[in-house]
Structure 1
């Protein structure tokens, strides 16, 4: 085997500073060995197509992110559309509510007007019925008074006849009536 002992030489520098010499193997310094190993590592990565796999994975992630962004844009557009639709529905509902309120007020006014007219009709009918009852009561009272007056007049006439006519006056009246018939 080869002797791999390291030798270090110290070279004196002016001003008293010391400088150390780096060891070398196969003519390469440690920095060169690190650079060479990095180069070999990178070549192995390229040979195994790791950058392409990383780029492919990143591309897939970019595609997935773009897909998510597109979906988010679509969802946002749909949300904006729904918001506009609901805003329109709310505006229409407010208009419908105002129209319903106006219609209800119109119907209430019509109901009040009809009730007022119906009340007037009822008042007129009841006045007519009261007047008809009064007229019927007046007629019944007049008929009753006439009947009583006729009864009283009959009673008075019978009393007058009974007091003014006796049996002789009756015979004379009957005889004159018979004589008037014979002629």
Structure 2
């Protein structure tokens, strides 16, 4: 019999695994309007709100930082990202399809998906509060991306943030300790 956490992870991954076998045709980023895009860091992309994936069949999916399991986690949904927030509150949409990191992924089949969970506990409390910290998406060409509910500032990792970070290579993910099995 599966443990409650295992069941929760399976249920969390089930809708995301709908992406397996699909191909991305377009990518949009949503962040605070600073007057110019600030998401394109050297080693990763840094987003205030989230990422929208438009698939080759025109279905739309998105990842945002959410609060389904804890205050800040990775939330995934099928549908319109603007149901989560509006562009009237200073949100700016940027198309990232032509960014060098995405050009190798556009049109490639998604071959695998895995979530990585973490937990927090109150001081002097044994109870662990589990949540999805990272999601890894594999592509048929061997490339991978990690989507994580954390922020990287001045090479420092700040976990559990109202922020998403997207990593495009395993070395960078390892450097920032993204995609590490903390549970299960």
Q: TM-score range by the shorter chain?
A: under 0.3
TM-score (norm 2): 0.14
In terms of fraction of residues, the more helix-rich structure is: 1
Tell me which of the two structures has the higher relative contact order, counting C-alpha pairs closer than 8 angstroms and 6 or more residues apart. Answer: 2
